[in-house]
Amino acid sequence: MAGSAKNWLIGCGVGCGLLVALVLGLGTAGFFGVRHVMDRAERLEAASDSLATLHGSPGAWAPPADGTLAASRVEAFLEARRQMAPARERASRTFATLDGGGGGVTAKVGAGVSLVPHILSLIEARDRALLAVGMGPGEYRFLYTVAYFGLLGKDPADGPGFMVSGNGAGDGDGRQWTVGTRHGEQDDGDVRRRRGEAVRESLNRTQAANLRRQLEQLEAAGGGDPAWRQALTAEVAALSSDPQRLAWEQDLPARLRDTLEPFRDRLEQAYDPTTGAMELEMDRDD
């Protein structure tokens, strides 16, 4: 990803070119602001590269073959979210302000200037938190799915009244991010529908690969419990046939639920409906 920091900015606009207009108007001060953002982008690339080197792509991960979930992995997930919390909360407040959360024009201008740095800060904080707890993006996305969508019944469409989406797979030119505005968007229901579909399709591609690897490992180990093997085989087939399906969304196995249930309150407290979709767009196999 060397030299790709420029593309963390390209496409990551602030409505009607607000950031560009402000930078042009601020002159030298604007230049230093952009330099700061570029420096942050370079730092986040280092964290992202380290994460990829240690854990590979999200689809390369596989849950334990027997379908169990160690409580220590849920603790690690929650610790990662705790470490991310300051950056996540800043991004959430910025999204809320841009989404009409009050404060008038001055507040929205401030939020517009802060948007790109806060997005980059959240991405870097997530990657560094995962490095700190020894968790890869595939496992993180899986635990997010089974905890928030499976156990707690959260909606993958949660988010602000505009789209924040990643484009491409992060090749040699880096990932591009697009921040939509209400101009060109339809109503809030349409934004939620599109966001939900995008999150589901992205997670489905990764988790279909995760569970296929899990099934392969189970079969290589002799098949294990017949009932579990049958359930896993059926889930792999369901993920492959329905691109909107999330892993274990419709029938969370007891061996997962039993581990997650004692963490219900802490998981609920760590949930942020505003930034969740963006978190899940940070790593994609497509």
Is the Cβ–Cβ distance between 202 and 34 less than 8 Å?
A: no
> Quick one: tokens of 207?
């988790």
Q: What is the pLDDT of residue 156?
A: 96
Instruction: State the Cα–Cα distance between residues 43 and 166, nearest whole angstrom.
Output: 19
> Buried (b) or exposed (e) across 159-171, using 16+ Cβ within 10 A?
bbbbbbbbeeebe
Is the Cβ–Cβ distance between 99 and 160 less than 8 Å?
A: yes
Instruction: State the Cα–Cα distance between residues 142 and 146, nearest whole angstrom.
Output: 6
> Quick one: tokens of 236?
């792999």
Instruction: State the Cα–Cα distance between residues 213 and 143, nearest whole angstrom.
Output: 16
Question: For residue 277, which of 150, 173, 86, 144 has the smallest C-alpha distance?
Answer: 144
Domain locations in the chain as residue ranges: 5-166+188-281
**235 SS3 class:** helix
Please count the residues of the chain.
286
Is the Cβ–Cβ distance between 284 and 171 less than 8 Å?
A: no
Instruction: State the Cα–Cα distance between residues 1 and 174, nearest whole angstrom.
Output: 6
Is the Cβ–Cβ distance between 44 and 123 less than 8 Å?
A: yes
Q: Tens digits of per-residue pLDDT, 242-251?
A: 999 999 999 9
CA distances (Å), 48 to each of 37, 87, 126, in order?
A: 16, 16, 9
Q: What is the pLDDT of residue 32?
A: 39
* DSSP 8-state code for residue 8: G
Question: For residue 58, which of 165, 145, 136, 132 has the smallest C-alpha distance?
Answer: 136
Predicted TM-score of the model (pTM): 0.83
What backbone torsions phi and psi does residue 186 show, to the nearest 5 degrees? -95, -150
Query: pLDDT under 70 in the chain at which residues?
Result: 1-42, 101-103, 106, 108, 111-112, 165-187, 284-286
179 bridge partner residues: 164
**178 SS3 class:** strand
